[in-house]
Amino acid sequence: MSKHTPGPWKWWTSNSFRRLSGPDGKDGGVLCPTVSKSDGHPDLIVSKANMELIEAAPDLLEALEGALGWLNNGLAREHYDKAVAAIAKAKGES
């Protein structure tokens, strides 16, 4: 099984197409739009592992929000701060 592209991921716009790139800087290295040469219908270039991670994002956010109370017990303060920052980023609040 292949692994997902490591983060951080960043959205870019190129030729009016949005692309999601990883830390390697490759334009669309995570997710890239394309148009089929044969029928002209749009499609995406994305690995199965990245598709699975993107699909799981809402569940991951919900689980992380549920874990905040446990993480804020003083022993895991560093993880709590990272979780709060990740939740804010996921909600577009950072």
pLDDT at 54: 92
pLDDT at 75: 65
pLDDT at 1: 46
| Spatial CB neighbours of 11, under 8 Å, sequence gap ≥ 6 | 18, 19, 20, 21
Relative orientation angle of helices 48-71 and 77-90, to the nearest 10 degrees: 130
Domain assignment present for residue 4? The answer is no
Give the total number of structural domains in the chain.
Answer: 2
CA distances in angstroms from 70 to 29, 34, 86, 87, listed in the order given: 35, 43, 16, 15
* Tens of pLDDT, residues 21-69: 999 887 778 988 887 777 878 888 888 989 999 988 988 999 898 888 7
Domain assignment present for residue 30? The answer is yes
Domain enclosing residue 75, as ranges: 51-90
Average pLDDT over residues 69-93: 81
17 and 37 assigned to the same domain: yes
pTM of structure: 0.72
Rg of the chain over Cα atoms, rounded to whole angstroms, equals 17
Question: Per-residue pLDDT for 17 more than 70?
Answer: yes
Contact 2, 47 (CB under 8 A): yes
62 and 84 assigned to the same domain: yes
42 and 58 assigned to the same domain: no
Stronger pLDDT, 67 or 72, i.e. the higher one = 67
56 and 30 assigned to the same domain: no
